Amino acid sequence: MNNVKIAPSILAADFSKLGADIRKAEESGADLIHFDIMDGHFVPNLTMGVDLVKAVRRYTDLPFDVHLMVTHPQDYIEPFANAGANLITIHAELATAPIDAVLWKIKSFNILAGLATCPQTPISAIDPYLPDLDLVLPMSVEPGFGGQKFILNTLEKISYLNQKIKELGKAIDIEVDGGINEDTAPLVIERGATILVAGTAIFKQSNYTSAISRLRQQG
């Protein structure tokens, strides 16, 4: 048994009854709720925003894990903080503001700060920021859509991050997002992943409890 955390991505949930689906995910053993926020500019998809996070905040006390796949994340830190986010992750590919300034802004709201990389970005892009992070998120699919296939070279990125974090001696979560299922879960857990984001592998299953425990018991 491992103590990996499971973060269902509501991108795969039933948008017509998100509150109920989130509550069901909590009752089924979820540890956090993952929100894939996309602006149709940083990535081709347009998914959900601040008002949706605010609307579902009252359905659970689980931490809200907000993944900003947007071009100007610096403009949305305060609105998502006020909507109830507990953790906000921005992307290392950010080109519209200094990354360390945005990370500082997240932390100024007493919220955990994460930094994500797209699959084609060298994982060393995280290095300068690692000491200031609470979480790193090496994406294992192209950002934009759920239901994609896990990109295998993510595994060496997880191992790299695990080693760097051990050397640093700071508790920093490694969250893997995209194509996580009962086959890929053990591969990422054994390399040091501590949080698994899963949309399809949970919300597209009939029984969320068994889906979550299958992911958690791997590795």
Q: Which residues are catalytic?
A: 36, 177
The site map against ligand DX5 for 177-196 (x = CB under 6 A) is xxxx----------------
- Side-chain half-sphere CA neighbours of 163 within 13 A: 8
Tell me how crowded residue 206 is: count the other CB atoms within 10 A of its CB: 6
Residues in binding contact with ligand DX5, number by CB under 6 A: 20
Regarding 177 and contact with Zn ion (CB under 5 A), the answer is yes
Amino acid at 61: D
Q: Which is nearer to Zn ion, 148 or 159 (CB)?
A: 148
Question: Could you tell me the smallest distance in angstroms from the CB atom of residue 158 to ligand DX5?
Answer: 15
Question: Could you tell me the smallest distance in angstroms from the CB atom of residue 148 to Zn ion?
Answer: 12
Regarding 77 and contact with ligand DX5 (CB under 6 A), the answer is no
12 binds, among ligand DX5, Zn ion, none (CB under 5 to 8 A by kind): ligand DX5
Regarding 175 and contact with ligand DX5 (CB under 6 A), the answer is no
Choose the binding region for ligand DX5 from 128-136, 160-168, 174-182, 210-218 (rule: CB under 6 A): 174-182
Residue 71 has which token pair? 């071009």
Regarding 126 and contact with ligand DX5 (CB under 6 A), the answer is no
Say if CB 90 and CB 114 are below 8 A apart: yes
Among 4, 5, 6, 9, binds ligand DX5 (CB under 6 A): 9
- Measured between alpha carbons, how far is 88 from 80 in angstroms, rounded to an integer? 8
Choose the binding region for ligand DX5 from 4-12, 106-114, 118-126, 162-170 (rule: CB under 6 A): 4-12
Regarding 30 and contact with ligand DX5 (CB under 6 A), the answer is no
Alpha helices in the chain (DSSP H): 18-27, 50-56, 77-83, 99-108, 154-168, 185-189, 200-203, 208-217
- Measured between alpha carbons, how far is 99 from 155 in angstroms, rounded to an integer? 25
Residue 149 has which token pair? 């296939």
Contacts of 111 (CB under 8 A, 6+ apart): 81, 85, 86, 87, 88
Regarding 65 and contact with Zn ion (CB under 5 A), the answer is no
Tell me whether strands 33-38 and 195-198 are parallel, antiparallel or unpaired.
unpaired
90 binds, among ligand DX5, Zn ion, none (CB under 5 to 8 A by kind): none
Q: Which is nearer to ligand DX5, 149 or 166 (CB)?
A: 149
